[in-house]
Structure 1
Amino acid sequence: MLRLWKAIARTLCAAALVAAGLAAPAAPAADAAVDLPRWAWAVVGGGSTPTVSYQFGTWASGLTAQATSGDLGQVLVRFPQFGAAAGGVAHVTAISSSPDWCQVQDQWPSDADLIVAVQCHRYGVGAMVTPRFSMTFGYSGKYARPIPSQSLGYVRWDGSAVATQFNSSAPTAVNTVTPGTSPGLWRVTLPGLGSAGLAGSIQVTAVDPAVPARCKMGGWSATTAAQNITVRCYDAAGAPLNTGWNLTYQRESAVVWTPLAPYSEFAYTFDNAPDTGTPYLPTPYPVSYNSVPGGLDIRGAGSGLRQVAFGDINAGYAGMGNVQVTAFGYGAEFCNLYGLWTRSTSLVLSLHACYDGATRIARPAMVSYVTRPS
């Protein structure tokens, strides 16, 4: 049934692209002979072209990401020249002051380009009339060893098996997924990316072409041999759901695969004490990181609202970078961005909210920021 729905989703989305004039012309895939890493990000509002200052991609100069509306709440995002990178992973976070979330439905190459279908929902209502979301896409390309302290791994679970995976520790390293004994629960093991205690950050996004789904980090432990991560997924009403998902683990690395500095500046943190109203830096300290020496902190910003301040990052780059948020915990709570992040010459401020059903409530969450260097 899942395969059937994927086929239907591809057909309908491709038809919508053709109707909107966004289907790529027949052409050989860019860099088809050279399997290069590719990464991109964008802020998308409905079916309009993503704002240039909020998007970036490793495509040829002059090209941009494009978007078109599909069904209600659905947006089809086209990344130019990314057709050969279909084995990468996308993450999406709704941008809204309401209890909204977004999921990936599917992704597929369209000649030289890559299409990612995104669907957004409002809790207790249904598909969003005007979806708005922040999005990243990362593909590792051929194995490239990072600088010694950097680690990155990703997994795309298609609902029954690992569809694609990457592990920066070695070209032969294999990430594994073990389904739990109850619905909506998986254990992910990333060998070779271990740490002596919790370190790094994680993003999780639901992938389902047929039904509303949302996923989160449900648990996390580490040994020196591996990162061990629990993924939990739920349906629109908050019941556990077997579905697909994308997961990315980063440590002293951007959430999108940039093999070596200085291709990006980035920061991440884990708001693991969300009842703390005054500014604080989470412990253990390796769960927070800023690639520039500007520091960061988290503080309360109103009922169920949390503000993250990334210091001295993005100071010389004209673009706005990208923020992703993933909820952490054992229940069906979820998080989104309460609005667009803001930037000054010395600070990036990001505001996020978490929800228990339709009620805004403080809950743990992981926040990741990436931008271009100055």
Structure 2
Amino acid sequence: MPRPTRAISALAGLVALIGMLVGTGTPAQAAVPDRFGFTLWNGAAVVPAGNYPAGNTVLPVGVGVYQVRFAGQAFSGGVVHVTAVSNGPRWCQADSWGPSGADELAIIRCFRAGGVPDNSGFSAFFTTSTGVGAGGPYGYVHAQPTGAIVSQYNAAGAPNSVTPLGVGTWSVKFPGIGSAGPIDGSVQVTAAASVPTRCKARNWTSIPAQQEVIVYCFNAAGALVNSRFTVSYQQKTSLYGPAIPPKYFGYLWHVPGAGPATTNFNSVLGFGANTLISAGPGLSLVTFRQIGFTPLNVQVTATGSNSNFCGLNFPWTVAAPDLYVRDVNCFTNAGAAVNSGFTVSANSRL
């Protein structure tokens, strides 16, 4: 698998070891997060309003292949999420990430329907945490197809688990950060592979003891396939863990149709405040009132048991204090616009 630098390759074993130690021992105490960053690439340049830290860069290194440098954010482990920003049926995935000097480097790959590498805009997000004390129920996992955990975080300090349920299907459990349920909070899932792969949340469930996410991954033909993947769970906290600050974040689940109020949260206005209206076949305009303060990041994940995938039609817009995601777009495996389930998460640095 290609790596952005020799440093990443050299540290691969160390990253895996750290992931196992976190999963089996008591994590060190640290602020949440240890490091994080995000960037918005419009296909030609980094958009400052969607970029944190300001020194982040994106370097195209091949057709549909990009090196993202998160300036000053080097840290072993963590997770990357990425969402395509394109008005056509494209998706983007994380290939690899790791420290290079003071920076965190990630390789992002983008494809069009059919699995052909293709240039695309995208929104990329990196975070890594240790210790306890996130702002709300929060956790993440970077997992191998076998269920082995490469890196993880759990706000309660408990070890997460990943159990294969069949080809391209896993149960990811976050113990100790449960809630009343039956479905609370939000999830983001991203494929971590060098070959065209899409991962999504089939569904998730909430009980007082834990959160459980069922992850599906598909190949370019729309068949279930084993793959590495990342999954993050957030509830009343930002996608990188803390609350409040940041003061401005929100998430929403489109089933299709409105999900439970507990899956629609706005850090300023509370539950059920974010809105969604149809903007055409496969298009959904999502409005996050009073949290439109830059720099900020938006991530989208398709949900459901089919091979549909979702992204962003255009970069989001801000008319302070409101944030407009115009629009989430969803497609069948063949690239036809379709009304599909998805989660959308918006997270400001402020």
Determine whether 1:336 maps to 2:311: yes
Q: Secondary structure at the match of 1:301?
A: strand
Q: State whether structure 2 residue 313 is matched by structure 1 residue 371.
A: no
Shift of residue 106, structure 1, vs aligned partner: 0.5
Amino acid in the other structure paired with 2:232:
T
Structure 1 residue runs of 4+, over 4 Å off? 33-36
Q: Structure 2 counterpart of 1:358, which letter?
A: G
Query: 1:1-374, aligned counterparts within 5 Å?
Result: 5=1, 9-10=2-3, 13-14=4-5, 37-46=34-43, 50-57=46-53, 64-83=55-74, 85-124=75-114, 126-128=116-118, 130-140=119-129, 142-147=130-135, 150-160=136-146, 161-169=148-156, 171=157, 173-180=158-165, 182-197=166-181, 198-209=183-194, 211-258=195-242, 260-274=243-257, 282-293=258-269, 295-314=273-292, 317=293, 319-350=294-325, 351-356=327-332, 357-373=334-350
- 1:147-180 CA deviation, whole Å, 9 max, x = no partner? 5xx11100001333110010002x2x00000001
Report the CA distance between 1:320 and its aligned residue: 4.6
CA contact (8 A) 2:154 2:160 kept: yes
Aligned letter for 1:188? V
Q: Is the 1:49–1:65 contact (alpha carbons within 8 Å) kept by the matching residues of 2?
A: no
Aligned 8 A contact 1:158 1:207 in 2: no
State the distance in 2 between where 1:231 and 1:256 align: 20
- The CA distance in 1 between the partners of 2:65 and 2:73, in whole Å, is 21
Distance 1:34 1:167, change over 3 A: closer
User: Which has a greater percent of strand?
Assistant: 2
**Identity value in percent:** 33
1:20 corresponds in structure 2 to none
Give the equivalent residue in structure 1 for 2:20.
Answer: none
CA contact (8 A) 1:139 1:257 kept: no
Amino acid at match of 1:243: S
The answer as to whether partners of 2:92 and 2:110 remain within 8 angstroms in 1 is yes
Displacement of 1:34 in angstroms is: 9.8
Q: Partners in 2 of 1:335 and 1:222 — Cα distance?
A: 24
By how many angstroms is 1:124 displaced? 2.4
Q: CA deviation at 1:234?
A: 0.5
TM-score by length of structure 2 reads 0.87
Conserved? CA contact 1:336–1:353, under 8 Å: yes
| 1:196–1:125 Cα change, 3 Å | closer
- Residues 234, 241 of structure 2: 8 Å contact kept: no
| Contact in 2 for aligned 1:52/1:64 (Cα 8 Å) | no
Tell me, in whole angstroms, the C-alpha distance in 2 between the residues paired with 1:332 and 1:311. 31
> Secondary structure of 1:56's partner?
coil
Distance 2:244 2:251 in 1: 16
Write the deviation string for residues 180-231 of structure 1: whole angstroms up to 9, x where unpaired: 1x3100001110111111110000000012x111100012222110111100
Structure-2 change in CA distance of 1:202 and 1:39 (3 Å): same
Tell me the residue number matched to 1:22.
Answer: none
Residues of 1 paired with 2:185 and 2:42: CA distance? 30
Give the C-alpha shift of residue 372 in structure 1: 2.8
The residue type paired with residue 363 of structure 1 is S
Q: CA deviation at 1:237?
A: 1.2
Return the TM-score normalized by structure 1.
Answer: 0.82
Change in Cα spacing, 1:53 to 1:229, as seen in structure 2 (3 Å) is same
CA spacing shift, 1:95–1:231, aligned 2, 3 Å:
same
Query: Aligned to 2:223, what secondary structure does the other structure show?
Result: coil
> Structure 2, unaligned stretches of length 5 or more?
7-27
Aligned equivalents of 2:306, 2:140: Cα separation in 1: 23
Structure 2: how far apart are the matches of 1:45 and 1:342? 13
TM-aligned CA deviation for residue 98 of structure 1: 0.6
CA distance in 2, matches of 1:372, 1:79: 14
Which structure has the bigger radius of gyration?
A: 1
